[in-house]
């Protein structure tokens, strides 16, 4: 049963890593953390699923005798256990960083996302800390003979205080009991954030959809909040299951250590104590392996982009779709921006273009100029990626980077609000002018000015 489960988990997590790395984009660049976590899930299943569980405990049930690859020499044993500690502690650090990042990005009024370069730097820094944490396992372990067989375990030549320190270090930092207690506190904040966002969405759902720029703006905000709610749900389900399994293993090891070493003052190397410890810790390890094999199901159920790309891959694999058909399907069901998604929901792009042509055209040009100035290919989120909307319509969106341009003073005939970015303030000013002066209102008239900003039409070839 373990072999098909681990094999399916490696394939599913590898597919999820590929989709999150190259195909799917989530708000706030959360796909970067999810891709790294999926990569560590693959390494965890290979290391703990195949090498530790399947070879060490599964092969003897088949009546086979095999020499474990990490018992060849001391160096192999040390590298194997050091790498195992790096996988366990590295995933703990990545999960903690992802939850903290989502809490930070999901409640920002300016909607400016952290650049991917900064995110990758944070990840590399935490993985460096994980390497330092896991080095102690490589130093303590070695190959020695116990009960008539060679084992890769903590060397008995070390003093008893070293073994006790290793057990505490393994429980608190490698398996991460301290880290998971902090993650549970952050998950409670994420759950409250999800409830608040769902209440806002419930209120927006009661607003009747209108085919005008105001209705378009409301629909864009609704799409963005719904994307964050999906991210919260995936985070709560995936991280909660992982933290419960890992915390249960830590608590059982702590109870076992308390029972045998403090209450009864027995040595840990007795057969009964060793069998008890292996049964308890490996039982929860097998449960964690099974749970780690199915995060793809959580993403597939809650994220429509995963469903769209999986269908495209399946239809292309079975030779039912051509490349042109796949691109048309992706353009229709996986829009590049929230604006395209809102236009698809309103289902009437011509009416918006005819009655609000000046407003939408000027917003398109302004967003293009801000996007050229602030956005780069590596820092674009889902709502700031290049759009496939034709030039006859608008390509403006609530860009997570463009709206941050609030340091200069803007005069729109409105009361200044530091929480609103330049694009959002322009939108409100245009809507106000459109309502006051009619559909022929042009932003260059009626006293609308922006200090330090000259609107320029930027063509597709980059010329202005």
Whether residue 407 sits in one domain with residue 282: no
> At 351, phi and psi to the nearest 5?
-65, -40
Structure-block tokens of residue 166: 């290793």
Whether residue 389 sits in one domain with residue 286: no
Q: Quick check: 293 and 45 in contact, CB under 8 A?
A: yes
Give residue 119's pLDDT.
94
Q: Quick check: 175 and 88 in contact, CB under 8 A?
A: yes
Whether residue 280 sits in one domain with residue 372: no
Q: pLDDT higher for 155 or 379?
A: 155
The DSSP secondary structure of 94-148, one letter per residue, reads: HHHHHHHHHHHHTT-TT-PPPPHHHHHHHHHHHHHHHHHHHHHHHHHEEEEEETT
**Nearest of 90, 74, 92, 209 to residue 154 by alpha carbon:** 74
Give residue 380's pLDDT.
47
Q: Quick check: 464 and 457 in contact, CB under 8 A?
A: yes
d(CA 150, CA 71): 7
Domain boundary among 265, 287, 302: 302
- Select, from the ranges 155-159, 226-230, 385-389, the one with the highest average predicted confidence (pLDDT): 226-230
Whether residue 387 sits in one domain with residue 287: no
Give residue 364's pLDDT.
64
Torsion of CA 337, 339, 341, 347, to 10 degrees: -150
**Nearest of 304, 331, 343, 339 to residue 209 by alpha carbon:** 343
Whether residue 248 sits in one domain with residue 165: yes
Whether residue 124 sits in one domain with residue 8: yes
49 found inside a domain: yes
Taking only the tens place, the pLDDT of each residue in 322-335 is 888 878 787 767 76
Domain boundary among 302, 317, 335: 302
213 found inside a domain: yes
Q: pLDDT higher for 88 or 255?
A: 88
**Nearest of 443, 357, 373, 453 to residue 410 by alpha carbon:** 453
d(CA 90, CA 415): 48
Give the range of the structural domain holding residue 278, as residue numbers without chain letter.
Answer: 2-302
Structural domain count of the chain:
2
Q: Are strands 449-450 and 410-411 parallel, antiparallel or unpaired?
A: antiparallel
d(CA 175, CA 284): 12
Whether residue 360 sits in one domain with residue 298: no
- pLDDT interval class at 429 (50, 70, 90): low
332 found inside a domain: no
Helix pair 295-302, 2-18: axis angle to 10 deg = 40
Whether residue 203 sits in one domain with residue 134: yes
Whether residue 362 sits in one domain with residue 291: no
166 found inside a domain: yes
Domain boundary among 274, 302, 330: 302
226 found inside a domain: yes
Residue with tokens 């190397």: 269
Whether residue 420 sits in one domain with residue 279: no
Residue 183: pLDDT over 90: yes
Q: Quick check: 102 and 155 in contact, CB under 8 A?
A: no
Whether residue 189 sits in one domain with residue 93: yes
First to last CA, the chain: 63
d(CA 326, CA 42): 28
Whether residue 410 sits in one domain with residue 290: no
d(CA 324, CA 341): 21
Q: pLDDT > 70: what percent of the chain?
A: 67
66 found inside a domain: yes
Q: Are strands 149-154 and 141-146 parallel, antiparallel or unpaired?
A: antiparallel
319 found inside a domain: no
342 found inside a domain: no
Domain containing 84 — which CATH number?
Answer: 1.20.1070.10
d(CA 86, CA 78): 12
């Amino acid at each position: 049963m373990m072999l098909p489960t681990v094999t399916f988990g490696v394939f599913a997590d590898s597919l999820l890593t590929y989709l999150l790395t190259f195909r799917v984009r989530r708000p706030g660049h959360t796909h970067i953390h999810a891709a790294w976590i999926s990569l560590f899930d693959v390494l965890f299943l290979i290391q703990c699923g195949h090498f530790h569980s399947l070879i060490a405990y599964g092969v003897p049930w088949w009546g086979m005798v095999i020499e474990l690859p990490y018992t060849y020499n001391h160096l192999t044993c040390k590298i194997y256990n050091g790498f195992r500690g790096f996988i366990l502690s590295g995933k703990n650090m990545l999960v903690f960083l992802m939850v903290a990042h989502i809490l930070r990005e999901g409640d920002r009024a300016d909607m400016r996302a952290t650049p991917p370069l900064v995110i990758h730097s944070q990840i590399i820094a935490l993985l460096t800390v994980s390497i330092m944490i896991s080095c102690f396992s490589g130093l303590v372990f070695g190959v020695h003979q116990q009960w008539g067989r060679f084992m890769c375990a903590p060397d008995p030549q070390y003093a008893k205080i070293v073994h006790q320190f290793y057990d505490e270090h393994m429980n608190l930092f490698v398996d991460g009991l301290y880290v998971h207690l902090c993650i549970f506190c952050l998950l409670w904040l994420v759950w409250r954030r999800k409830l608040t966002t769902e209440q806002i969405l419930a209120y927006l759902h009661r607003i009747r959809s209108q085919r005008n720029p105001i209705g378009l703006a409301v629909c864009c905000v609704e799409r963005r909040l719904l994307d964050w709610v999906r991210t919260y749900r995936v985070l709560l389900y995936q991280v909660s299951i992982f933290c419960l399994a890992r915390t249960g293993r830590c608590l059982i090891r702590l109870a076992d250590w308390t029972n045998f070493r403090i209450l009864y003052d027995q040595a840990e190397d007795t057969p009964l104590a060793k069998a008890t410890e292996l049964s308890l810790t490996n039982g929860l390890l097998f449960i964690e392996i099974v749970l780690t094999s199915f995060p793809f199901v959580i993403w597939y159920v809650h994220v429509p982009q995963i469903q769209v790309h999986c269908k495209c891959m399946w239809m292309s694999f079975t030779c039912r779709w051509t490349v042109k058909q796949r691109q048309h399907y992706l353009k229709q069901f996986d829009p590049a921006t929230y604006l395209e998604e809102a236009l698809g929901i309103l289902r009437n792009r011509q009416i918006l273009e005819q009655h609000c042509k000046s407003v939408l055209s000027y917003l398109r040009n302004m967003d293009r100029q801000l996007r050229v100035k602030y956005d780069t290919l590596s820092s674009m989120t889902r709502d700031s990626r290049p759009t496939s909307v034709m030039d006859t319509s608008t390509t403006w969106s609530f860009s997570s980077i463009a709206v941050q341009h609030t340091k200069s003073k803007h005069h729109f005939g409105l009361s200044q609000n530091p929480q609103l970015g330049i694009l959002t303030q322009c939108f409100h000013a245009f809507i106000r002018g459109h309502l006051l002066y009619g559909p022929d209102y042009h932003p260059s008239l009626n006293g609308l000015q922006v200090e330090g900003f000259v609107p320029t039409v930027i063509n597709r070839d980059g010329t202005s």
